[in-house]
Structures are given as structure tokens and as C-alpha cells.
Chains A and B, each alone.
Chain A
């Protein structure tokens, strides 16, 4: 079995199974705990819980004015690599085919050259994020191993993907295999670390939305 066959076959299979199992485990485990939401008599004219939850999810997409300056880098850089990752993952045709193979869903992709550009920007943005993390005393204090591992496992697929498409460093099939293996590593770690915020942020924002919404307070 070649490395590529291993990557496309058993490695990907195992990684996806662990990913789905772990992610569902964590979400179900967190949300089937007793809720312990303090009930409150909502303010007259307050948003309904569903609307407040949704509002919470959306309002948090951009910082309030006082935090914009201090958080400018965090937010802008965060957006750059999140959008970058989304574009690369969801709009590169080989990736779409991968997703189609798993889910049957299909949509048009973007030109590959554009994707390479976005991937380069994404990689640069991730590096900038890491440098920021290493230089900020606050982030140094609150960062855990999870933060660095999650960073690495997000960064590697971007780099290996770029190397593979540009045939740099090794033969294409080896690079492609490494790319797929790096994604496997990402998928395996995903449910257990902070990468899960990709799913959990909805609940976290939504719950604060409900709490503040019923009070008629800002989100």
C-alpha cells in the first residue's frame, strides 16, 4: 500500500470516524447536562428566546466600538484566516469532490489559482496569529498546549496543500498523501480541543443571547 493509498483509505476513514464520534460526543455530552439556566420573568417587549439566541449569534460577529481598537488585530486577523480557511476548504474543487463523496452535496468551485492565493494569505495570517500569541503577555498567560497544537494542526494542511499543488519538496503523490494525513491529524484532534468552538460557539453565543435578551440588555 502506498502512502497515498493509506492516507486516502484507512487513515481518512479512521480520522473521520473519530471526528464524528468525538464531536457528537462532546456536543451531546455538553448539552444533555442539566441546563441550570436561571429562569427569569422576561422584560415586557423583550425578544423571544429564539430571536435573542439568533441575535446573539450574529451580533458577536463584530466587536462593539470600544473593543475595536484594542481587538483590531485579533478580529481582523481572525476573520482573514477563518474566511481564508472557509474559501480554501469549501471552494477548491478537489475539496468539494471530497465533501461530495462524503455527503453527496455539490457546488461550484473557484479557480485554482485564486485558491492558491487565498491559501497563501491564510497561512500568513495564521503565522501572524501565532506571533501575536507568543508576544502578548495576556495570551501567554491564558494559552494552553491545546492552543499551540490546534494552531499547528490547522497550519499543516494549509502548508502541505500549498506544497502539493506547487509540487515543492517531494513528489506530488507524497505531498498529497501528507496533505491528507495532516487533515487526518486535524480531524482527530478537532473534537478534543478548542477547534470545537466551530460548533460550540453557536450555543455559547445563543445562551448569552437568551439571558441578555430577556433582560432587554445589549448583547
Chain B
């Protein structure tokens, strides 16, 4: 792994031993795999109207034209026209569309990884209905093959491959669960042979935020459900989904789903993590088809279910709260009402942010950006958009339902010495369980 800069001073990292041309070819092959009718319909339709720029927090907060979403796809688009479009044979023959150069790829690493959180706000803005966020994710597959990924993400990839989780070796998982149970005085279920619910976790919960593990257990216990954590399938955050490592994405997805099936669970509950939802709920179909062997829900949906079915009762907090909508859960995931229902059950008066629901601003850290320190300056820029809206809404509490969002927002608050605490919905529920 080496950090370099292009002639123009743009930083990029490279991994693996490859010549420039091998690297470029590897990227092209990675891109080429993604080209089909769906990518075609999108890549053929752009009218260069620039509307997508107006949606992207990185463009809005910096005014930097390079952050225009469709611009982030430039090499991917070029590869499409050269290798897969309806006129590709002619373009190649006449050299109308040249091959993408290694320099372009190096330069675009920053735009594809640092400057995109895969938040999908641009997709909502594009009048042609181009799913730019999805295309950028596809472009990452090629970049990964070429070893053109930010080192920080690559590091997590390696760890996840070796340990089964970017946070901790799988061997330690059971211990962490037991210790946490003891620490918080909660009965934990680990590695049960049979359970109705398989509960999964996100990396931060295994290090700094172990309370979330206990909170989840607390709610499940209270609801009187049959559930378990399981060493063979516990890590739901899917680094492969973020950094373009499609093989790792498959491994991570299969681990949790197959484990759920093995222990006879009818439901796989994902932790408060947006990308976990995107990867397991909406992309498991890559390997399982459109009939998933197990029901997959997000923690927020689970909370809504147990509240609605009165399996748990909640104390009313009686304050006002603003909710930060995690992109992968709400905009890209379609879970918009559930968190609000739970907040209402907690007796909160909801003071919506100016941009909320599907149109909410991204926290600025999704898509691996929060783990990629190179992107810190623009991440803080993007954070300011959120900060302004939260201040304007003036609610007592500021709540979200994604650990990554919470970390990003907390880092932002620290950076700007902003005295707002960011809370997770699960924690609020667990802390306010009524008898």
C-alpha cells in the first residue's frame, strides 16, 4: 500500500504489485463486468443538465465543480462507451472513444471514494432518473480490482477478510458478548443452536459502543423473543459493499444469511447500520435471487414491530427530537416511517429538519468516507449543512438510527465544538423500556 499524488497534486493510494497497464486493464475488466442494460439505460441518458450537482453535499458545501456527481463517473462512462455501448465496436474501430488512461483512474480515485458517500441524493435529483449513486458503487468494483482504493478502506478490507470483521477477530466475539452482558447486567444469548431471531452487529459496537449490544439484548429479552448472537455470522456491516470488493461482499452476506438459515431463524435482524441494510436487505439477491431464505430487517424496523405489537412498552420522554435519516436506511432503503413511529411511541414531539426523509442531507461519512481520513476536510464541510439544519430545528434531542452516521456526526460536532449529543434510537428505546 502506497500513498502517491498525481502530477496535478491529487492524492491517491495504490495496492498490489501491478504495472500501470495491468492496473488499467484490471480496472477496465472490473468496469466491464458491470455493464448491462441497466447501466446502459443510465449511462446513455445523461443530458448534462447539472441538476445532480445541486443534490450533492460535497458540491453544495464546497462549490467545487469536480464534485458534480456525474463527473465522478467520467472514466466509468468512457469505459462503457468504449467497451459495451451499442456503438462500442465502431468507437473502438475508429478510435472515437479512447481507452481510459491510468492517470485518469488515479485522479478519479479521490472522486469515486473520498467524494461520494453513495448517499443517492443525486439519484433523486436527476431528471433523467439516472441512478448515479449505484453507478458510482459499480465503478468502485473496477477500482478495487485495480488496487486503486484509499488505503484506509483497503486496511479494513484486509482485516475483514482475515477476521470476519473489521473490528475484532471472530474468536473474540463470544467473549465480547459475555463481557458486555456482565458489564450491563443483561442476559446475553450467544451461539444458540436454535433461535427465531439472529441478531447481528456493526463494528463500532464491538469496540467503543458495546452498550448497543446490551441494549439490543435488553429489548429482545423484554419482548420475550427467542434470539441469539452467533459467532459464525455476526458482522453485518459489509466493507465489501463500500470499497468495491464484491467477493468480500458475498462472503460477508453469506455468513449472516446462512447462519440464520442454519439456526432456523425466521428473521435476521441487522444492527443500526445503514450499509448493512443496503448490503443484506437489497443486495443479497445477487446470490440468493429475489426470494431470500430469511426475512431481513433493520433494527429500526424491529423496534417499530415490537412497539406496534405491544411486545414492549415505552416510557414517554416528553421532549422534542430531530431525526437524522441515514441514507441507506431511508433514501435508499425505504424505511422512513419506522423511526418516526418509534420516536412518537417514546413521546417525542418530532421537529423535522428542513431536509428530512428521503431528501435528508447525508451525514457526510457514508460509503466508507468516515473511515477514509483523506476525506476529512470535505466531510467536515458536508457536516456543516447538517449542523445548520439541526440548529434551525431547535429540538431538545438529536437522534439517528445508524452507528456510522452517529460516529460521523459526533466527529463533526467535536471538530466544530458543537455541543450537541447524537443519540441512537435503539439506545433511547432500551433506556426507556416500561414494565
Using a CB–CB cutoff of 8 Å, the interface residues on chain A facing chain B are 25-43, 46, 56-57, 60, 63-67, 70-71, 74-75, 78, 136-144, 147, 192, 194, 196-197, 200-201, 203-209, 211-212, 215-219
Instruction: Report the Cα distance A212→B334, complex, angstroms.
Output: 8
B35-77 interface bits toward A, Cβ cutoff 8 Å, 1 = contact, 0 = none: 1111111101111111101110001000001101011000000
Instruction: Report the Cα distance A140→B71, complex, angstroms.
Output: 11
Instruction: Report the Cα distance A196→B283, complex, angstroms.
Output: 31
Instruction: Report the Cα distance A208→B355, complex, angstroms.
Output: 22
Give the secondary structure class of A's interface.
Answer: helix
| B84–A138 touching, CB < 8 Å | no
Which of B38, B51, B128, B359 contacts A37 (CB under 8 A)?
B38
| B128–A26 touching, CB < 8 Å | no
Which of A57, A65, A141 contacts B359 (CB under 8 A)?
A65
A-B contact count (CB 8 A): 188
Distance of A105 from chain B, by nearest CB (Å): 27
B360-392 interface bits toward A, Cβ cutoff 8 Å, 1 = contact, 0 = none: 000000000000000000000000000000000
| B86–A41 touching, CB < 8 Å | no
| B39–A36 touching, CB < 8 Å | yes
What are 24 residue pairs bridging A and B, where the CB atoms are less than 8 Å apart in the complex?
Answer: A25-B86, A30-B40, A33-B35, A33-B84, A42-B290, A64-B359, A66-B55, A67-B125, A70-B54, A71-B54, A136-B50, A139-B50, A142-B65, A142-B70, A144-B48, A197-B46, A205-B128, A207-B38, A207-B42, A208-B131, A216-B335, A217-B333, A217-B358, A218-B124
Instruction: Report the Cα distance A139→B55, complex, angstroms.
Output: 15
Which of B40, B48, B68, B355 contacts A66 (CB under 8 A)?
B355
Residues in B whose Cβ lies below 8 Å from that of A29? 40, 85-87
Instruction: Report the Cα distance A38→B290, complex, angstroms.
Output: 9
Instruction: Report the Cα distance A56→B331, complex, angstroms.
Output: 15
| A201–B290 touching, CB < 8 Å | no
| B49–A32 touching, CB < 8 Å | no
Which of B50, B55, B70 contacts A74 (CB under 8 A)?
B50
Instruction: Report the Cα distance A140→B50, complex, angstroms.
Output: 10
Residues in A whose Cβ lies below 8 Å from that of B336? 217-218
| B283–A40 touching, CB < 8 Å | yes
| A200–B44 touching, CB < 8 Å | yes
